[in-house]
DNA sequence: CTTGACTCTATAGTGGCTACAGGGATTCTA
DNA sequence: TAGAATCCCTGTAGCCACTATAGAGTCAAG
C-alpha cells in the first residue's frame, strides 16, 4: 500500500509542508515518485514519520531525533546514549519549568500593582516596569 | 550626557546588536549621530531601553512592548489595556507551565521504560517512541 | 471538458535576537 | 606621531521548527 503526501500527513497528524520539511532535513528517506511526480510512501516510512511526530510532541529537537533514528538503525549497539538523551530532555523541561515559575511570580506581583481603571500616568504596572532595579550593569 | 551604543548596551545589560535591532523594529527612537556617524543616546532613551529589557525579562513579546510604549506616551488614557496585556501574559505563562508539566510526566514515564545498558533493539525508550498510540488521525 | 482537490518547486516569513564580513572612527600607548 | 586596540558602522545571513504564500502541474468525478 502506497500513500500520497496528504495521506501520510493526515495519518500522522501533521501538515503536508511539514512532511516535505522533514524530508529536506534528512529525517525522512527520499520517497518514491508516481508517474506524475507525486511522493509515494510505504508503511515503514509512515511509521518513521509518526516516530518523529511523537518525539516532537515531547519537544525533542530535530537534531536529537536524528540521533535516535540513527540508533534505531543499529540494533546491536548499546542504548546508553538514548537514555542520556531523554535525561537531558527532562533536564531542559525542568529548567524551563523553573524559570516559568519565577516569571509567573514576577508577573503576578506586577499585576497586583494596579487596581484597575486609572490614567496610564499613574498605572502601577507601567511604573513597576519603568522603575527597574534589575537592568543595571553588574556591579564590580 | 550622551552615551554611545556600547555604553547604553552595558548600562541596560544587553548587546550592542540588540540595541540596533530594537531601533530597526521601531521600539527605540532614531538616535542622534556624532560627527563620525556614531549613535548618541540620552538618559530618556536609555530609560526606554531599560524598560524594554525589563519587559523582555518578563517574556513580554515585542509587539506588546510596542503597545506599552504607546500607552506610556498617552498619560491621560485609561490603563485597562495594560492590565489586560499583563493578564494575557500571565495566561500564556500558566498555560506553558501546564504543558511542560504534562511533558515532564510523559518523559519520566518514557524514561522508566529502560533500565540501562541494553542493545538498542530492546531499549524500552525506543520502543515507547515507536509504539505511538497518539499520532493517529482523529477518529470520526 | 471543466471543475475542484490534490500535488509540485521555490521562496520568504515568523520571533528575537546573534554572528559574521569588511570597512571606518576613536583612543590609548610607545 | 605611529601603530595597535577598541570601538562603531552597514548589510547580510543564521538560528529553530515550521508556516505560508505564488504559480504551476496532476488527476478523478461529473
Ligand atoms: Zn493599570
Ligand atoms: Zn529590570
Ligand atoms: Zn535504553
Ligand atoms: Zn504519538
Are residues A131 and A110 part of one domain? Answer: yes
Are residues B38 and B54 part of one domain? Answer: yes
Instruction: Give the confidence band of B80 by pLDDT, cuts at 50, 70, 90.
Output: very high
Among A55, A72, A89, give the residue marking a domain's end. A72
The count of structural domains within chain A is 2
Are residues A13 and A63 part of one domain? Answer: yes
Q: Tell me the shortest Cα–Cα distance from A32 to chain B, in angstroms.
A: 23
What's the whole-model pTM score?
0.90
Q: What is the pLDDT of residue A121?
A: 92
User: How far is residue A29 from each of residues A19, A93, B121, B127, measured CA to CA in Å?
Assistant: 11, 30, 21, 20
Instruction: Give the distance, in angstroms, between residue A49 CA and nucleotide C4 C1'.
Output: 29
In the predicted model, what is the mean pLDDT of residues B73-84? 93
Q: What is the pLDDT of residue B124?
A: 94
pLDDT tens, B108-132? 999 999 987 889 999 999 999 998 8
Are residues B65 and B88 part of one domain? Answer: no
Among A72, A99, A128, give the residue marking a domain's end. A72
Kindly give, in sequence order, each residue whose CB lies less than 8 Å from that of residue B100, ignoring residues fewer than 6 positions away.
A93, A96, A97, A100
Q: Which cell goes with B136?
A: 493517529
Percent pLDDT > 70 in chain B is 97
Instruction: Give the confidence band of B137 by pLDDT, cuts at 50, 70, 90.
Output: low
User: Could you say which ligand is closest to the alpha carbon of residue B130?
Assistant: 4
Strand D: list protein residues with Cβ under 7 Å.
Answer: A 14-15, 17-18, 21, 34-38, 56, 61-63; B 4-7, 9, 16-17, 20, 37-39
Q: Give the structural domain span for A129.
A: 80-139
Are residues A99 and A64 part of one domain? Answer: no
pLDDT tens, A88-115? 999 999 999 999 999 999 999 999 999 8
Amino acid at each position: 500500500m502506497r500513500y500520497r503526501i496528504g495521506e501520510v500527513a493526515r495519518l500522522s497528524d501533521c501538515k503536508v509542508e511539514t512532511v516535505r520539511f522533514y524530508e529536506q532535513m534528512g529525517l525522512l528517506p527520499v520517497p518514491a515518485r508516481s508517474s506524475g511526480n507525486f511522493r509515494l510512501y510505504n508503511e515503514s516510512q509512515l511509521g518513521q514519520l509518526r516516530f518523529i511526530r511523537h518525539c516532537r510532541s515531547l519537544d525533542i529537537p530535530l537534531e536529537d531525533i536524528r540521533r535516535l533514528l540513527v540508533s534505531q538503525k543499529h540494533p546491536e549497539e548499546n542504548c546508553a546514549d538514548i537514555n542520556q538523551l531523554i535525561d537531558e530532555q527532562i533536564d531542559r523541561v525542568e529548567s524551563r519549568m523553573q524559570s516559568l515559575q519565577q516569571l509567573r511570580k514576577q508577573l503576578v506581583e506586577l499585576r497586583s500593582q494596579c487596581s484597575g481603571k486609572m490614567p496610564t500616568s499613574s498605572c502601577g504596572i507601567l511604573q513597576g516596569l519603568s522603575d527597574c532595579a534589575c537592568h543595571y550593569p553588574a556591579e564590580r
